Amino acid sequence: MWSGGQIKRYGQTKVDGKSIGAHRLSWIIANNADIPVGICVCHSCDVTACVNPAHLFLGTTQENTKDRDIKGRHRVVFGDKHYAAKLTTNDVVKIKALFAKGGISRRKIAKQYGVAHTVINHVINGSAWKHVKEN
C-alpha cells in the first residue's frame, strides 16, 4: 500500500521532477517497460493506493470503466453528499422559495449563501439539485 502523498486516493510521487501515479511507476518498474500513451494502469484489487504489481494491469479508459461498472464500484453522488457541495437540500428549498416570492435578485441570494450567482442560476433553472422539489 502506498503511504506517501496522494491525489484523489491515488499514490503520487515525482520522477525527474514530473508527477506520476505511484501505481503507474510500480507497473513500469515491475514490467521494465513504458506504458503506452492513452493507456491506464488498472487495479484488479480496486484499491487506488495499491502499488502491488500483481494487482495491476493495463487497459484503455473504456476497459477500466467497464471493469468498474461490472464490479459495481460506480457511485453517482449528488446533493449534500457530494464532496464539493456548498449548499444543503434545506438551503436549496429556501433558495427556491425566496426566488419564487420575488423581490430579491439571484446575486443577492448568492451572496447570502456564499456561492457564485451561477450556482443560484442552476438551482433556479433546475440544471442543478434536480432531485429537490419545491414545496
Which letter does DSSP use for residue 53 in this model?
G
Residues 6+ apart with CB under 8 A from 92: 123, 129, 132
pLDDT at 39: 97
Chain segment 74-103, per-residue pLDDT in tens: 777 778 887 788 999 999 999 999 999 998
pLDDT at 108: 96
pLDDT at 31: 97
**Beta strand 56-59 pairing with 40-43:** antiparallel
Shared domain for 53 and 96, answered yes or no, is: no
27 in a structural domain: yes
Number of domains in the chain: 2
DSSP assignment of 15-48 equals: ETTEEEEHHHHHHHHHHTSPPPTT-EEEESS--T
pLDDT at 109: 96
Domain, as residue range, for 27: 6-70
Shared domain for 65 and 87, answered yes or no, is: no
Shared domain for 21 and 64, answered yes or no, is: yes
Shared domain for 46 and 14, answered yes or no, is: yes
Residues 6+ apart with CB under 8 A from 36: 58
1 in a structural domain: no
Query: In the chain, which stretches have pLDDT less than 50?
Result: none
